[in-house]
């Protein structure tokens, strides 16, 4: 646990008692603060009270008298589309609003660092797609290289649940726009921006607000190294804002759409080969085509970002390459769950929007595609760019018929995962891939995308065992 600093003897309100909220309350208590907790869900309050935490209705008049700060969980809106009433009350009372990420950055450093040969480092990863894989991949590479590393934030453990940093250790954080937008402190040593595509626009008041939330990770803390995906205009703009000139190697540009040139520091992937160039000369090269845990151009972008982050910490290219070959992939993210009779079964339940689903479709050929769910704004037309790779789509979800009508590929309305998997497996032939890449949220049929992916995996294994 990272005890929170700066609030000893003060009252701090905590809104939302999920994983991050409970961790924040515990860490505040460990730092000698007095956390006042609230969640609209009675069961969440009961769990907190069972740990000896005090729950106070933050909705009542005068709830913020004598309160030093309000700590808000990521899922609770603080500005758009409308501020949560508790957040609005705190702002009206002049109480600062923060989150667990802000608490972490103000509390992580300790006096014991003065005796370390190498102070702990923090690598923070954000972006629209690929940030989970990139963060997990960086953590894997560091661990394989013998470095002490912890993975936290939007993946792994709650950021305040991790252990204090040891000599030469590294903390790898995956940070969503919800987390970067609100944190009052953001000071990573290395910051990574993977890419940007429309998502969570209602929460951020549009694309500009969404980009601004991501940009805060770089603008607020001034990382020593910034690794920026420049395949979208926003990334190219951000890299330009951060760089002092063409030779400024504090900015490492990455791409999977073109060769990057110039006297700076670049990492790019073309035709399955990763290349690193620095000061106009090639410094490293890796053949990514045979790495099973990283299929497709989108994962090659993740590999470029992870490679650049680890190079920024001084790891050698060959050490990174060896670790890439042992990377098993993340559950629900282009995860190969089975291979039988020449058919490959891939779980990419995390592909909850059109952009990420399109990347999954482009990573494989001869696809039996299971898709559908709670459709997001913007429509599905972009998916038709990969129609040639799809032999047939098997559509699930309560609105499966409407979803299927928007697809250029042949589509069959199945509604349930059980029917979709049964039909796809019955149709599949050697050399084909049965791919779950929903291009939609899971909430019409499942609690979360993990549960959807687990259902797909269970259905596949059940039929393979028959």
| Dist. CA 421–CA 400, nearest whole Å | 15
Q: SS3 for 275? A: strand
CA 19 to chain CA mean position, Å: 16
Q: For residues 315 and 425, is the Cβ–Cβ distance under 8 A?
A: no
| Dist. CA 98–CA 185, nearest whole Å | 9
Known binding site for ATP: residues? Answer: 127-133
| Dist. CA 330–CA 139, nearest whole Å | 12
How far from 5 is each of 102, 419, 420, CA to CA, in Å? Answer: 11, 53, 52
Structural tokens at position 314:
């001084």
Known binding site: residues? Answer: 127-133
Q: For residues 173 and 153, is the Cβ–Cβ distance under 8 A?
A: yes
Q: For residues 323 and 145, is the Cβ–Cβ distance under 8 A?
A: yes
DSSP 270: E
Q: What is the DSSP string of 301-327?
A: HHHHHHHHHHHHTT--HHHHHHHHHT-
| Dist. CA 358–CA 399, nearest whole Å | 20
| Dist. CA 157–CA 324, nearest whole Å | 23
How far from 65 is each of 15, 53, 90, 345, 430, CA to CA, in Å? Answer: 16, 19, 10, 56, 68
- Residue-level length of the chain: 466
- Residue 302's closest CA among 137, 76, 124, 91? 137
Q: What is the DSSP string of 443-455?
A: TTT-SSHHHHHHH
User: Taken in order 344, 345, 347, 352, is the CA torsion positive or negative?
Assistant: positive
Q: How many CB atoms lie within 10 A of CB 46?
A: 12
DSSP 196: -
Q: For residues 327 and 395, is the Cβ–Cβ distance under 8 A?
A: no
| Dist. CA 114–CA 131, nearest whole Å | 32
Helices 317-325 and 131-144 pack at an angle, to 10 degrees, of: 110
Q: For residues 72 and 15, is the Cβ–Cβ distance under 8 A?
A: yes
| Dist. CA 332–CA 328, nearest whole Å | 12
């Amino acid at each position: 646990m990272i005890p929170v600093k700066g609030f000893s003897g003060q009252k701090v309100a905590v809104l939302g008692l999920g994983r991050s909220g409970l961790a924040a309350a515990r860490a505040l208590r460990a730092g000698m603060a007095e956390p006042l907790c609230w969640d609209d869900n009675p069961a969440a309050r009961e769990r907190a009270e069972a740990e000896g935490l005090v729950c106070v209705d933050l909705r009542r008049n005068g709830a913020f008298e004598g309160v030093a700060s309000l700590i808000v969980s990521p899922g609770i809106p603080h500005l758009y589309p409308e501020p949560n009433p508790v957040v609005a009350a705190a702002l009206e009372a002049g109480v600062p609003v923060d989150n667990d990420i802000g608490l972490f950055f103000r509390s992580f450093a300790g006096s014991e660092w003065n005796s370390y040969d190498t102070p702990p480092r923090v690598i923070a990863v954000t972006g629209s797609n690929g940030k989970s894989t990139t963060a997990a991949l960086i953590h894997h590479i560091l661990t394989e290289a013998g470095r002490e590393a912890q993975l936290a934030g939007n993946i792994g453990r709650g950021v305040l649940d991790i252990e204090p940093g040891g000599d030469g250790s590294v903390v790898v954080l995956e940070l969503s726009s919800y987390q970067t937008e609100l944190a009052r402190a953001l000071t990573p040593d290395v910051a990574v921006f993977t890419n940007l595509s429309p998502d969570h626009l209602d929460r951020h008041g549009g694309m500009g607000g969404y980009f601004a939330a991501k940009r805060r990770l770089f603008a607020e803390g001034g990382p020593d190294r910034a690794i920026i995906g420049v395949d979208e205009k926003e990334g190219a703009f951000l890299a330009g804002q951060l760089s002092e000139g063409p030779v400024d190697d504090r900015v490492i540009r990455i791409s999977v759409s073109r060769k990057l040139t110039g006297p700076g520091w670049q990492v790019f992937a073309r035709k399955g080969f990763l290349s690193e160039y620095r000061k106009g000369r090639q410094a490293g090269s890796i053949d990514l085509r045979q790495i099973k845990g990283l299929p497709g151009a989108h994962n090659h972008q993740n590999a470029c970002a992870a490679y650049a982050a680890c190079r920024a910490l001084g790891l050698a290219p060959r050490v990174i390459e060896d670790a890439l070959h042992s990377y098993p992939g993340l559950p629900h993210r282009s995860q190969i769950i089975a291979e039988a009779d020449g058919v490959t079964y891939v779980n990419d339940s995390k592909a909850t929007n059109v952009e990420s689903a399109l990347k999954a479709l482009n990573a494989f050929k001869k696809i039996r595609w299971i898709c559908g769910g709670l459709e997001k704004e913007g429509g599905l037309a972009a998916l038709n760019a990969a129609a040639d790779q799809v032999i047939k789509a098997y559509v699930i979800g309560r609105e499966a018929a409407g979803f299927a009508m928007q697809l250029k590929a042949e589509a069959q309305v199945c509604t349930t995962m059980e029917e979709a998997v049964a039909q796809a497996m019955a149709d599949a032939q050697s050399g084909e891939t049965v791919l779950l890449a929903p291009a939609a949220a899971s909430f019409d049929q499942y609690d979360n995308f993990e549960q959807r992916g687990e259902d797909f995996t269970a259905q596949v294994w059940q039929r393979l065992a028959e």
